[in-house]
Structure 1
Amino acid sequence: MAERYSSFQSGSMTWFLQRVTAAFLVVVLAFHFFLLHFVHHPAEVTFAGTQGRMSDWGYFLTMTLFLITATFHGVNGVYAALVNQGLSGSQQTAVKWVLVVAGVLLAGQGTYVALVMNGMI
């Protein structure tokens, strides 16, 4: 049998957060998909409708957490996959910081858009 290798140490904080964010994303993605594909038909999703939904604090907080959680989960997953493929040394450090900066910029831009859609900015 092939040996199982993972860059995540079982029980580490990144291991734990990857699983917690996955569980959260499954639930919120189902809510998001149901709301925007069954409650509101995709052809009916408009800028004004989005502003209306984002003005509801529960929806706003859920979608903002969705964005931040998905960003962390994706960036952490890409980093782990690269480490599993043998990335190490200074290349690993460089990739880690590029992913951190990209993740912060993505979460920041998405949060800014959410705040604009909410009417706070």
Structure 2
Amino acid sequence: MAEHYSSFEPKGTRWLLQRITAAFLVVVLAYHFLLLHFVNHAADITFAGTQVRMSQVGYFSTMVLFLVTAAFHGVNGVYNALVNQGLDGTQKTVVKWSLVAAGTLLVVQGTRVASAMTGLF
């Protein structure tokens, strides 16, 4: 039988965070689809409506947390998939910091867009 291998340390912090972020993303993604695809259909979504939703502190906070969580979950997952494929040494370090930079830029730009959508900035 094949041996199970994972770059995640069993029950380690990154392993736990990957599971927690997955659970959070499932719930928030379901909320997103329900609100923006079933309650309000695509034709009903307007820039003005987005500004109204984003100006609500709870909605804004949820969307920014959704962005941060999705970025972490994606970067962490890609990094560990590459490590599972045998990435090591200098390449591992370069990939890790490149993914950290890309994730950070994504969160910064996404937060800037979300802030602009509030209509307050």
TM-score between the two structures when normalised by the length of structure 1: 0.97
SS in 2 for 1:120: coil
Q: Which runs of 4+ in 1 moved over 4 A?
A: none
- Cα RMSD between the aligned structures? 0.7
**Distance change in 2, residues 1:120/1:13 (3 Å):** farther
Which residue does the alignment assign to 1:25? 25
State the one-letter code of the partner of 1:27.
Answer: V
Mapping 1:44-59, distance limit 5 Å: 44-59=44-59
SS at the partner of 2:34? helix
Question: What is residue 79 of structure 1 aligned with on the other side?
Answer: 79
> Residue 2 of structure 1: CA displacement?
1.1
For residue 119 of structure 1, report the CA deviation from its aligned partner: 2.5
1:115 paired with 2:118, answer no
- Report deviation, 1:120: 3.4
Name the SS of the counterpart of 1:8 in structure 2: coil
Q: Identity across aligned pairs (percent)?
A: 69
Matched, 1:7 2:7: yes
Instruction: Structure 1: give runs of 5+ residues left out of the alignment.
Output: none
Q: For residue 101 of structure 2, what is the aligned residue in structure 1?
A: 101
The code of the aligned residue for 2:5 comes to Y
* Alpha-carbon distance, 1:108 to partner: 0.4
Q: How far apart, CA to CA, are the structure 2 residues paired with 1:111 and 1:4?
A: 38
Q: CA deviation at 1:11?
A: 1.5
Whichever residue aligns with residue 37 of structure 2, its letter is: H
Structure 2 unpaired stretches of 5+? none
Determine the C-alpha separation between the residues in 1 that align with 2:19 and 2:71: 14
**What is the CA distance between 1:40 and its match in structure 2?**
0.5
The C-alpha deviation readout for 1:24-52, integer Å capped at 9, x for no partner, is 00000000000001111011111111111
CA displacement at 1:89 relative to structure 2: 0.3
